[in-house]
Amino acid sequence: MESNSEVSLEMLKQKLLTMASHAETAVNEALQALQARDTDLALRVKEKDRVIDHLEVEIDDLVIQLLTRAPLASNLRLVTIAMKISQDLERIGDEATKIAKRARDLAEEPPVKIVLDLPRMARLALDMLKDALDAFVNRDSTAARAVIPRDKEVDGLNKHIHNLLAQHMVEHTDTIARCLHLMVVSKSLERIADHATNVAEDVVYLCEAQDIRHTGMKSQPVLA
Amino acid sequence: MTAANHKLRNFKDALMQIVALLCAIIVVTPLVLIFYHLIKLGFSSINWAFFTQLPGPVGEPGGGMGNAIVGTFILLGQAAVIGVPVGVLGGVFLAEYGSPKSSGWIRFAADILNGVPSIVWGLVVYGLVVVPMHGFSALAGGVVLGLMMVPLVMRTTEEVLHLVPAGYREAALALGVSKWKTVLQIVVRTALKGIATGVLLAIARVAGETAPLLFTALGNNIWARSLTQPIAALPLQIFNYAMSPYDEWHRQAWAAALVLLLLVLFINIGVRFLTRDRWKAKI
Amino acid sequence: MTSAIINRETMEQTPITTALAVRNLSVFFGANEVLKKVSLDIVPRAVTAIIGPSGCGKSTFLRALNRMHELNPEARMTGEIRLFGDDIYARAVEPVIVRRRVGMVFQKSNPFPTMTISENVTVGLRLNGVRDKRLLAERTEQSLRMAALWDEVKDRLNTAAISLSGGQQQRLCIARALAVQPEVLLMDEPASALDQLATSKIEDLILDLKKKYTIVIVTHNMQQAARASDFTAFFYLGELVEFGTTTKIFTSPSQKRTEDYVTGRFG
């Protein structure tokens, strides 16, 4: 029979995963609204962000409750990173909302004639998030560490898209407003990848009790 | 629970209470009767002369039991000198030093000795002290009463020492105090009231012993002058006077019995007083 | 306090920075091996907590540090314990001497009932022959101050020790132990019989005392160990499973058994 505290910790994990699922859906739907120029979908994404925000509050409350029981060792680490992961997920939800807003703005004007691989960027960022969360569920520190270097690729893509858009704006000054919107979308996707990286770092801390934030050596574990 | 059950329970409760009350009355009654008789028959003979004068000539009125009273105290004093150190130290050994096996045997021996009839004690000391000394003496009387006290004091001391919580011993030893100092200055000191109680009760017990004194102290009609001579004692006087054909002596025997009983009573009251709770520990 | 072990052959001096160096300590009660080859170093002027489930040997370990386990006639030990370099189990060493250097406070406070507060504090000194009244008075005040009890009892030093509350009695016992000026203070679940407020006071006291004394405390309360200690040793079934800084043991223990115990999966 599971103890009372084990039940609560399970509940915490489940809530995080639920919140993550909502965040993933929000990003996907926002991208879809952008590509399909679907203003209704964009609006729905914005409204559903409220659910994500609520979940953040619920998780934080649950964390406080669990802390009064003075958890120790791995339970302590789990509870503290739960708070941080929920924060990152909430920010991802906010970025999705930003993308949805720009999607609405862009849908009101004719499309820009430029090929940008925004879907690929979204795919990369969302895969990073999924892998970080899988690592969380499976307590797989190696898998979490593997996520971190992928941020570079997303950063590179963002820069590339940024340059393409900048050049287009210079050549076609009537598209400046629309290009700026697209730049914001790209930036948001880059931020989403950053948040996924944070989640991966938190998972490493949970598994190894190593805080690898802000250090240069992110891919090699210190303990063999 | 039905009403019938309820009534039956109440009835049984009341019945038990009545039975208990009857038993208490049955137990107390002999004591009340004894006191009543002693007071009725002996009080009139208690006067200053009784406490200060020697027995008068045979059959004649007057005289007292001054020497017997003093004699009893002298005998009890000697008994204490023998019984207290040996008994208390013996109890300390049993409680603090003995191995389970040796303590077991000593305890067994003490319990048997506690059950030995007092007349047998008298005969034994007769052989051990009176015969070599070629005569009855106060010393022999003191020795027999003292020896009788030893197993009693030993066992009560041991019981009281066992009641001292182990925590005190541990605390003292943990301070680097040696074992014998711990035993004497901490354990025995804590149990002192209990030990004193045991000693006083043992004295009260032997104060009334008559049979052993018949073979050792014998009795005397004059003031005690030396320990190597026979000595008077209250139980002995009671025995002699009661068996005599003289009314006057019978009356004095009652008085002596009353005095003896009062002695025992005062010792018991003294014990109660000493063991009253002066300091109440906060829980 | 530093001293050194001198190697007789090379005359090399090794400074001692360990208060109690335990090496391969095994304790037997009759045929029962209660402690199995325990080795660890108690750090001086720090608090070391000993944790573990019931029956793991933590109390036995504590008592071996001042030879109190010898009160059990069937007790036997092998191994070595050095107190600042001195072998406390050497043939020539009397347990009494060890206990004056390593003091102990027990779970249930036990001030001597026939003595006053000041008599209790000085009992260790007086029973070891100290007569100087001025010294005794000085030591009384000093020890009661160190035990954070002076202000509460300074006006009634001659009243019965058992008239104090439970928490005060325990602090009195601490003062009593400190009065003989030990180098190490052992505490066997000192606050488990006390309420929350009294427990806090004892914990604050421990944090204060460690400036001067080396303290080893057995506790079954992990939050207490986390609050009050610098190092923690986890015992299980007579073995030392893990020893490390308190932070490490309670945030990221290396051994699975430690992790399981600390997160409440057993014990």
Q: Which residues of C touch A75 (CB under 8 A)?
A: 263
Binned at pLDDT 50, 70 and 90, residue C9 comes out as low
Binned at pLDDT 50, 70 and 90, residue C266 comes out as confident
Residue B282 has pLDDT above 60, yes or no: no
| Average pLDDT for B64-74 | 85
Say if C250 is an interface residue toward chain A (CB within 8 Å). Answer: yes
Say if C263 is an interface residue toward chain A (CB within 8 Å). Answer: yes
pLDDT in tens, C191-240: 988 998 999 999 999 999 999 999 999 999 999 999 999 999 999 999 99
Q: What is the reported pLDDT for C171?
A: 95
Chains that touch C (3 or more CB pairs under 8 A): A, B
Of B171, B182, B279, the CB nearest to C162: B279
Please answer yes or no on whether C253 and A5 come within 8 Å at the CB atom. Answer: no
pLDDT in tens, A185-220: 999 999 999 999 999 999 999 999 888 887 655 544
Binned at pLDDT 50, 70 and 90, residue C141 comes out as very high
Residue C25 has pLDDT above 80, yes or no: yes
Q: What is the reported pLDDT for B241?
A: 86
Token representation of residue A23? 């965040």
Domain boundaries, chain B: 2-45, 49-281
Q: What is the reported pLDDT for B65?
A: 80
Q: Which residues of A touch C251 (CB under 8 A)?
A: 72-73, 76-77, 209
The residue of chain A nearest to residue C250, with distances taken between CA atoms, is A73
- Mapping DSSP onto H, E and C, the string for chain C reads CCCEEECCCCCCEEECCCCEEEEEEEEEECCEEEEEEEEEEECCCCEEEEECCCCCCHHHHHHHCCCHHHHCCCEEEEEEEEECCEECCCCCCCHHHHHHHEEEECCCCCCCCCCEHHHHHHHHHHCCCCCCHHHHHHHHHHHHHHCCCHHHHCCCCCCEHHHCCHHHHHHHHHHHHHHCCCCEEEEECCCCCCCHHHHHHHHHHHHHHCCCCEEEEECCCHHHHHHHCCEEEEEECCEEEEEEEHHHHHHCCCCHHHHHHHCCCCC
Q: Which residues of C touch A69 (CB under 8 A)?
A: none
Say if A75 is an interface residue toward chain C (CB within 8 Å). Answer: yes
Q: What is the DSSP string of chain A?
A: ---HHHHHHHHHHHHHHHHHHHHHHHHHHHHHHHHHT-HHHHHHHHHHHHHHHHHHHHHHHHHHHHHHT---HHHHHHHHHHHHHHHHHHHHHHHHHHHHHHHHHHHTSPPPS----HHHHHHHHHHHHHHHHHHHHHT-HHHHHHHTTHHHHHHHHHHHHHHHHHHHHHH-GGGHHHHHHHHHHHHHHHHHHHHHHHHHHHHHHHHH----TT-S--SS-S--
Please answer yes or no on whether C250 and A209 come within 8 Å at the CB atom. Answer: no
Of B172, B174, B189, the CB nearest to C114: B189
The nearest CA of chain C is from the CA of A131 a distance in Å of: 24
| Average pLDDT for C105-117 | 94
| Average pLDDT for C29-51 | 95
pLDDT in tens, A16-68: 999 999 999 999 999 999 999 999 999 999 999 999 999 999 999 999 999 98
The residue of chain B nearest to residue C121, with distances taken between CA atoms, is B175
Q: What is the reported pLDDT for C2?
A: 47
A144 or B5, higher pLDDT: A144
pLDDT in tens, A76-99: 999 999 999 999 999 999 999 999
The nearest CA of chain C is from the CA of B9 a distance in Å of: 42
Q: What is the reported pLDDT for B283?
A: 34
Mutate to test the interface with A, among C229, C246, C252, C257 (most CBs of A within 10 A): C252
Q: What is the reported pLDDT for B1?
A: 63
State the complex-level ipTM.
0.89
Binned at pLDDT 50, 70 and 90, residue C57 comes out as very high
The nearest CA of chain C is from the CA of A80 a distance in Å of: 11
Chains that touch A (3 or more CB pairs under 8 A): C
The residue of chain B nearest to residue C166, with distances taken between CA atoms, is B283
| Average pLDDT for B8-23 | 93
Of A74, A208, A209, the CB nearest to C263: A74
Please answer yes or no on whether B172 and C127 come within 8 Å at the CB atom. Answer: yes
Binned at pLDDT 50, 70 and 90, residue B280 comes out as very low
The pLDDT > 70 percentage for chain B reads 96
The residue of chain C nearest to residue A71, with distances taken between CA atoms, is C263
pLDDT in tens, B164-188: 999 999 999 999 999 999 999 999 9
| Average pLDDT for A139-159 | 95
* Homologous superfamily in CATH for domain B49-281: MetI-like (1.10.3720.10)
Residue B220 has pLDDT above 90, yes or no: no
pTM of the model: 0.81
The nearest CA of chain C is from the CA of A54 a distance in Å of: 29
Chains that touch B (3 or more CB pairs under 8 A): C
